[in-house]
Amino acid sequence: MTGWTIGIIGGSGLYGIDALEDVETITPETPWGPPSDALVRGRIGDVRFVFLPRHGRGHRLSPTDVNARANIHALKLAGCTDVLAISAIGSLREELSPGCFVAVDQFIDRTVHRDTSFFGSGLVAHVSMADPVCPRLSTMAAQAGERAGARMVHGGTYLAMEGPQFSTRAESHLYRQWGADVIGMTAMPEAKLAREAELPYALIGMVTDYDCWREGEAHVEVDAVLAQLGTNAAVARSLVVALAAILPSERTPSPIDTVLDQALITHGSHMDRAKAESLGPIVSRVLAARGV
């Protein structure tokens, strides 16, 4: 086996990866409660994968109700080295038409009702989010998308809105003015939490529709979105298989693997030990290195 264990977070329409072999189902316990659903661990060739449907099987969870802290913590407990999210998105650009896949490289966070960090009083950390995705993983995921036959766009800014309602037309025009290219409801705080957990993160967005900025475009309707989701999900499953084939035979370290070395600033003598213990594998490496 290689040193890679890729966590796959499946968004709307992607509730399983049929190509996984030697499958086992696990449900890790986290301090934040249960993840969205049981994790499915298996392999494709020599690469280990852990799959988690973000909204739960049957799409039980609304975007605001997705427990991102539990999801990321569970993937860390399951031994993931990297995380690839595959998410449904709306388009804010004419050239990003339905069926297009986008390797997102920036985010604008407009969520307001979600827990955004593992850290807090007694254990303070400030991770850098200037470059929120792992360029290595994102590049390979985009290459895998191309091999799977996706119309792939490299780079794009994702506007994360709270939901569950779709945008007003005024909001949609505003987001375009801000430079956002696509819009979704789930990537934040997921990407922030992955960075805090020292998990290199990438997001491939699957365009299902144009947001309501487009003149003459019909209002976003769920039935049209669902129809496009089915087509996109088939390509997404092929993308995961292609990713297993193009990953290097061994995983070399990433700078993201050690971001807490600089980000965790609470002195050991003032640290909330109970909080540190509850975070388990998220902080165990850096605390051991500091002799705490």
Q: Active-site residue numbers?
A: 209, 211
Which helix (H) or strand (E) covers residue 9, if one does?
Answer: strand 5-10
Cα distance between residue 286 and residue 127, in whole Å = 14
CA angle 74, 20, 34 (to 5 degrees): 20
3-state secondary structure 169-237: HHHHHHHHHCCCCEEECCHHHHHHHHHHCCCCEEEEEEEEEECCCCCCCCCCCHHHHHHHHHHHHHHHH
Task: Work out whether strand 21-26 and strand 39-44 pair parallel, antiparallel, or are unpaired.
Answer: antiparallel
**CA-CA distance, 186 to 78, in Å (whole number)?**
21
* Residue 116 backbone phi and psi in degrees, to 5: -105, 0
Residues whose CB falls within 8 Å of the CB of residue 15, separated by 6 or more in sequence, listed in order: 53, 57, 58, 59
Instruction: For residue 218, give the nearest of 130, 98, 63, 106 by alpha carbon.
Output: 98
Contact 108, 182 (CB under 8 A): no
Q: How many CB atoms lie within 10 A of CB 46?
A: 11
CA distance 175 to 178: 5
